[in-house]
A and B are shown apart, each in its own frame.
Chain A
Amino acid sequence: MIDKLSWIAVYPELVLLVMACLIALVDLGVKSPRRTLTYALTLLTLGAVAVMEASYALGGQTFYGFGNMVVVDPMGSWLKCFSSIALMITVVYGRPYAADRDMLRGGEFFTLSLFALLGMFVMISGHNFLVLYMGLELMTLCSYALVALRRDDAQATEAAMKYFVLGALASGFLLYGLSMLYGATGSLNINEVFNAIASRQVKHQVLVFGLVFIVAGLAFKLGAVPFHMWLPDVYQGAPTAVTLIIGGAPQLAAFAMTIRLLVEGLLPLAIDWQQMLALMAIGSLVIGNLAAVAQTNLKRMLAFSTISQMGFLLLGLLAGVVNGNQLHTESAYGAAMFYALTYVLTTLAAFGIILLLARAGHESEEITDLSGLNQRSPLYAGVMAMSMFSLAGLPPLVGFYAKLGVLQALISSGQTSYLVLAVFAVFMSLIGAFYYLRVIKVMYFDAPHSHNAQPISAPADAQIVLAINGALLLVLGIAPSSLMTLCAQSINSIVNSLGV
């Protein structure tokens, strides 16, 4: 017998599911090559879901459905709300690009995106190992298909293949780790696992063994070193519109899953997973930043920069608990959530520019393709410059406060080793500044190439969204307070529910 509360918990997911199926059907009758009706319906669905999630989040309650298999809490609702918005922005930027490359022939671009989002929702809300896993698989299966959407393009097919093989391997890792935990604790429910571990009745060795596989699986999804190598290849190889689909909203879902598994489920093992996170963070910062310097392809450079940004995010995650002391949990995980949100916002802007600059027959994905952009379009150049400065962590852009929050979390722990980590991260971001600056240099200091000197034309909806996206980077940079509070409160509700 399923109670009413259970249905309330998954209303947005249901809407998404029904609409995704409906759009697939409606699309059969759509004749327009740009798929205007499908596009409008997709945006409508995403908007509606975002509003529903926002109202759940503002309600501030935490409740469980379907026998504790799914949870609705402010963090999850906000992340789902922002994922929908991120996907909305992605679709707006991506439609002209996809239309030019004949990717809209069937409506799969839209329906697969919606199903991927559904997968993310399940990942974010899952409160049971198998539900989490199901969500992850739904999301990644859609992503594999999306990457291969241009099936006549050798590069995209290769990227899809790599993504699929490595992704399956990582899922296997994760599943293996989860099954070990199940074997050790006798439960798939996150709360019960937490309690079982906290009671110290379970053999530590078995737990740590399972934990290693879980962390490896999560690191793969986040793109942290040493599980990062798929990321540059897939980012570069996938059609840019798809790159944005897999590089934007899914980061939020991966973040949510990390919190669900490591914090809600395995916080008593924090000392063990923190060591792993610390090593992965250092590796990501070093390899991501150094490799990005050498790139000439913009998408590949952004991929490596993602790896380094994830390193920073991991630093936030590991600062939460110090020697079993959970005083800083809220501020550290809150900082990590803020980092994830602002990172996605910034990435959307950067990839949005690449998408809108690309035209039929020309991808515009080399860094030099941006040369002289300021002369061609001050708006695009301005937005791109802001997203680069933001990724570099320069005030007054929002990326600065993301880094600030993480550094503050590290330093306030009072641990000397964390202070050293903070200084190290700061030096690594100096290297980061170099390659972000190079993009700005190309746009502002170089003259346009002859082959990309023609005027830029993008649909009005994309231009408006781009302008808003860019403005947000600055506005949130000048007044980051409300978003910070939102993140902290969301995390707070989780920490409180742990009863620690």
Chain B
Amino acid sequence: MGLLSLAIWMPIFFGVGLLALGRESQAHTVRWIALIGAIASFLVTLPLYDGFQLGTSAMQFVEKSSWIPRFNMNYHLGVDGISLWFVLLTAFINVVVIIASWESITTRVNQYMASFLILSGLMIGVFAALDGMLFYVFFEATLIPMYLIIGIWGGPNKIYAAFKFFLYTLLGSLLMLVALIFLYNKSGGSFDILAWHKLPLSATAQTLLFFSFFAAFAVKVPMWPVHTWLPDVHVEAPTGGSAVLAAIMLKLGAYGFLRFSMPITPDASHEWAGLIIALSLIAVIYVGLVALVQRDMKKLVAYSSVAHMGFVTLGFFLFNDLTVSGGIVQMIAHGFVSAAMFLCIGVLYDRVHSREIASYGGVVNTMPKFAAFALLFAMANCGLPATAGFVGEWMVILGAVKSNFWIGAAAATALISGAAYTLWMYKRVYLGPVTNENVKGMLDINNREFLMLGLLAIATLYMGIYPKPFTDVMNTSVADLLKHVALSKLN
């Protein structure tokens, strides 16, 4: 069994085991088994980074065996510089999320932990799949655990949110399914994604395919104007669910743009790049302003996610290596930072059971350690240099200015609105005198919470100060991707 298979199936194996063995009364054992499973699954992914060959755009750690020979579907896995970090990120966030849910989840603990472990394996599968249908199977299967996570452990309006999440994303994916089958027939019976990159396609076919993929990935990212499910879902989802959703699941969509839309339909991508850029800028500017007026902290961070993901799609469709790499770096950084932001809200919620900004005030007085962490993540969220949030945004803006000054200038306004909504929220929640009765009795974070935030803080700072390991890995692959995108498939 290859490393990638191990990374995919180990958490799933632990998850299924928990479903089979766990009982309500043994919640404590269940938590430990889940944590051990998550850590072991993360450790398995480390050799991937260690053994990764720089300077080649070829797929590495490739595994290929026949899966459904009738349709020429293969169990075909591999990672390149674009997907490697997401495999690691997913496994890492999974560990953090399980630590985060240690005390806040008290009902059906085994099912909760199992859902996250299985979800983690499935998402790694999405990033590692090189067979179109295998990708689709993993991509769709992630809906099942997430639907259950939102619906079982969510807030008061969870059922509405669970349905909205499921049906919105399913709608997009179904069109992608038709596109995949279409490509299969066009390519003479192959689901090999890499072979599709070289497949000649007419302009009409490319446009149709482009929009089928767009339906799937834009909803998942989510881009304006199909982003409306995200705030609703974030508000209702349990803390861990929000963290995974923001940190990893949104990346599945952005990753899809890189793996499918851009290289398979390069001409259509160029033709419609203007549209995507316009939608991305709306996300960056308009949704940023929307975030400013939120009273609910989770909603605020959710809108800020939409704005940040706008940067990612903007970067992709400017088609130069600085912006594309910047977009990918932004994806990873957002994975750390948004997870941390949601976990911070979770820490507050565990104590006061409110997500309203107005229920807090002066938290720094009672929870100084926690407030320090929160400050770091707030800074990262508004893109302060030396934090992870800075690198990607800076690369995208720099690249954007190079290709078109006005696009760069418009994108740069996000730094202002981002700083405004993040810092204003920080001020209202943490700074000043204690204004709320319930804040007075709050206890500072315990060791477990310290550990989980500490892990994310290290990642955020490390990536901000020394982003080289991240960018090094992706350079060759991005260059190769852009070569594909630059090549017309017409004639």
Contact = CB atoms under 8 A, between A and B. Distances in A.
Contacts of B158: 445
A427 interface: yes
A488 to B, nearest CB: 6
A378 B19 contact: yes
Interface of B: 19, 67-71, 108, 111, 133, 136-137, 140-141, 143-144, 147-148, 151-152, 158-159, 162-163, 166-167, 170-171, 174-175, 177-178, 181-182, 184-185
Contacts of A408: 71, 181, 184-185
Nearest to B189: A412
A429 B140 contact: no
Given A394-B143, A427-B174, A441-B151, A433 B167 contact: yes
Interface string A306-328: 00000000000000000000000
B140 A441 contact: no
B185 A481 contact: no
Contacts of B177: 404, 407, 426
Contact of A395 (B137, B162, B184): B137
A437 B178 contact: no
B67 A411 contact: no
A430 interface: yes
A411 B181 contact: yes
A426 B152 CA distance: 28
B136 A430 contact: no
B141 A445 contact: no
A343 interface: no
B174 A430 contact: yes
Most central of B70, B151, B184 by chain A CB within 10 Å: B70
7 contacts: A394-B140, A404-B177, A407-B177, A433-B170, A480-B68, A484-B71, A485-B70
Contacts of B182: 411, 419
B29 to A, nearest CB: 17
Interface residues of A, number: 35
A255 interface: no
A444 B136 CA distance: 26
Contacts of A427: 174
A484 B175 contact: no
A434 interface: yes
A49 to B, nearest CB: 29
Interface of A: 374, 378, 382, 389, 394-396, 400-401, 404, 407-408, 411-412, 414, 419, 422-423, 426-427, 429-430, 433-434, 437, 440-441, 444-445, 479-481, 484-485, 488
A217 to B, nearest CB: 32
Contacts of A479: 67
A394 B163 contact: no
Contacts of B140: 394-395, 400
A437 B181 contact: no
Contact of B171 (A378, A430, A481): A430
Given A408-B181, A427-B174, A484-B68, A445 B159 contact: yes
Contacts of B144: 389, 394
A395 B19 CA distance: 19
Contact of B178 (A395, A422, A430, A444): A422
A396 to B, nearest CB: 5
Contact of A437 (B70, B133, B147, B171): B147
A159 B83 CA distance: 58
Contacts of B143: 394
A127 to B, nearest CB: 28
B68 A407 contact: no
Contact of B170 (A374, A411, A430): A430
A412 B185 contact: yes
Given A374-B108, A444-B152, 14 more contacts: A378-B111, A394-B170, A396-B141, A404-B181, A407-B178, A408-B184, A419-B178, A419-B182, A430-B170, A430-B174, A434-B163, A434-B167, A437-B166, A481-B67
B72 to A, nearest CB: 11
Contacts of B166: 433, 437
B183 to A, nearest CB: 10
Given A400-B137, A433-B167, A426 B68 contact: no
B189 to A, nearest CB: 9
Contacts of A382: 19
B175 A423 contact: yes
Can you list the 5 inter-chain pairs with the closest CB atoms, starting with the nearest? A395-B137, A445-B151, A426-B174, A481-B68, A411-B181
Contacts of A480: 68
Most central of B69, B143, B162, B170 by chain A CB within 10 Å: B170
A480 B133 CA distance: 13
Nearest to B174: A426
Given A434-B163, A437-B163, A414 B185 contact: yes
Contacts of B69: 481, 485
B174 A429 contact: yes
Contacts of B167: 430, 433-434, 437
A445 B162 contact: yes
Contacts of A374: 108, 111
Given A441-B163, A484-B70, A423 B147 contact: no
A384 to B, nearest CB: 13
Most central of A395, A401, A422 by chain B CB within 10 Å: A395
A269 B366 CA distance: 82
B13 to A, nearest CB: 13
Given A396-B141, A430-B171, A423 B70 contact: no
